[in-house]
Amino acid sequence: MPTLLKVKEGELTIEDVISETYSFQNLDQMNKAFREWLNIDLKSIFFKRKRIGHQISFLEDRIQEIIQYRHGVVHRFELDRSLTKDGYIAILDAIEASIKEFLNYLEMKYQITIERM
């Protein structure tokens, strides 16, 4: 049965179709999905130098490192025992900076205001 009919009949969801078609295991694959579905280039949004923790680095690189770290934890139960409290805070800072950059992009692209908490 074709995919659209499976969605119509409730055998598949849109999320199922997306997860079968795209992988979100790295930024390149995420970028492909966002470009094709939403016309959003994540790499251009995140190709910025930002202060994250105690250093300045490209947000894109930090995101990729976080994705790989998460992949290791989820799929191989690899925990970086050398990661300090400051290291975890730097990860959270990178995630926060990424969200802010993405929201700023959406506000500019669509001329909207997104309420911040």
Which residue range forms the structural domain that includes residue 45? 3-110
**Domain count across the chain:** 1
Backbone angles phi, psi at 58, to 5 degrees: -75, 130
- Asked whether residue 117 is assigned to any structural domain, the reply reads no
The per-residue pLDDT for 74 is: 86
Q: Which residues, including other chains, have CB under 8 Å from residue 106's CB and lie 6 or more apart?
A: 112, 114
What's the pTM? 0.81
- Asked whether residue 35 is assigned to any structural domain, the reply reads yes
- Asked whether residue 116 is assigned to any structural domain, the reply reads no
Whether the per-residue pLDDT at 86 is higher than 80: the answer is: yes
Instruction: Give the model's confidence band at 13: pLDDT under 50 very low, under 70 low, under 90 confident, else very high.
Output: very high
- Asked whether residue 61 is assigned to any structural domain, the reply reads yes
Instruction: Give the model's confidence band at 65: pLDDT under 50 very low, under 70 low, under 90 confident, else very high.
Output: very high
Nearest to 31 by CA among 44, 39, 41: 41
- Asked whether residue 115 is assigned to any structural domain, the reply reads no
Contact assessment for residue 72 and residue 78, using Cβ atoms and an 8 Å cutoff? yes
Give the whole-angstrom CA distance, residue 62 versus residue 75. Answer: 20
- Asked whether residue 25 is assigned to any structural domain, the reply reads yes
